[in-house]
Amino acid sequence: MCGRINLRTPAAAWTQEFLPLWSQEEIAAKAAEYESTARYNIAPTQQVSCVRAAADGPRREWVMLRWGLVPSWADDLAIGNRMINARSETVHEKPSFKKAFASRRCLIPADGYYEWMKTADGKQPYLIEPVDGGVLALAGLWERNRKIEGDDRPIETFTILTTAANETTRSIHDRMPVILDPDGQAAWLEQDRDDPSSLRELLRPAPVDLLTAFPVSKIVNSPRNDVPECVQRIELSEGSSQQQDLF
């Protein structure tokens, strides 16, 4: 699964790849509107920066969506708490996801994501991020719900797609988020692309040389801790890093 991410890179930098047709002035205005700051421990139910295709042209949209997909037919926001991830192998056939898979796809920018390994000392969090730095593009689906009463506007939510872990991360967890390269990002956001087989070709494990993983402090266990210490490497005591089984 993928239940925590972080995005520390300033908006002025990550948007260069994700929003290529936006001007610096537009990005600055949107960053100010969203009060965009470094986020070290992003958790489900929170508002998260996402990128999706615009409805009326080639430009992309930068939007804030609630993490945890709530289907259009649902009448309880809490259902999203169980839909923070969608398995890429079955997403095209699940009632909660298949319509979004066909027409409401998005990207979630992230500097890295967290997973927990079960050890003799309890669950140990690891930060998984690009070897050479940069921002990952996680594949997601978004949905709009008009049934749940809110502040007089639809509730928009998203989920992150997962796939089998690659050799780099498999010892920590058997699943990983789908990470798209630039060509995959463009294809994922193509509104005319609705063939499940062609879309599913994009949903594969990341190359083994893309990512590195290292242990971080257990303060990341609480989403209330959104501080730089969440992403700092720690040294484990001897024997504590031996995995007992996958949680």
How is the chain split into domains, by residue range? 5-245
115 in active site:
yes
Q: Render pLDDT for 27-53 as a digit per residue (tens, 0 to 9).
A: 999 999 999 999 999 999 999 999 999
End-to-end CA distance of the chain: 10
Q: Render pLDDT for 109-138 as a digit per residue (tens, 0 to 9).
A: 999 999 999 888 789 999 999 999 999 999
Which candidate in 2, 50, 106, 230 is catalytic?
2
Q: From start to end of the chain, where are the E strands?
A: 5-7, 39-42, 47-53, 60-67, 85-87, 105-110, 112-119, 122-130, 136-145, 155-164, 175-177, 211-215, 243-245
Which element (helix H / strand E) includes 198? Answer: helix 196-200
pLDDT under 70: residue ranges of the chain: 150-151, 239-247
Which candidate in 50, 115, 143, 230 is catalytic?
115
State the chain's mean pLDDT as an integer: 93
Q: What is the reported pLDDT for 1?
A: 78
State the number of CA atoms in the 13 A half-sphere of 26 facing the CB: 11
Architecture (CATH level 2) of domain 5-245: Alpha-Beta Complex (3.90)
Distance CA(71)–CA(145), nearest Å, equals: 6
Q: What is the reported pLDDT for 119?
A: 85
Tell me if residue 25 falls in helix, strand or coil: helix
- Determine how many CB atoms are found less than 10 A away from the CB of residue 192: 7
Q: What is the reported pLDDT for 150?
A: 63
pTM: 0.94
DSSP summary character for residue 100: H
2 in active site:
yes
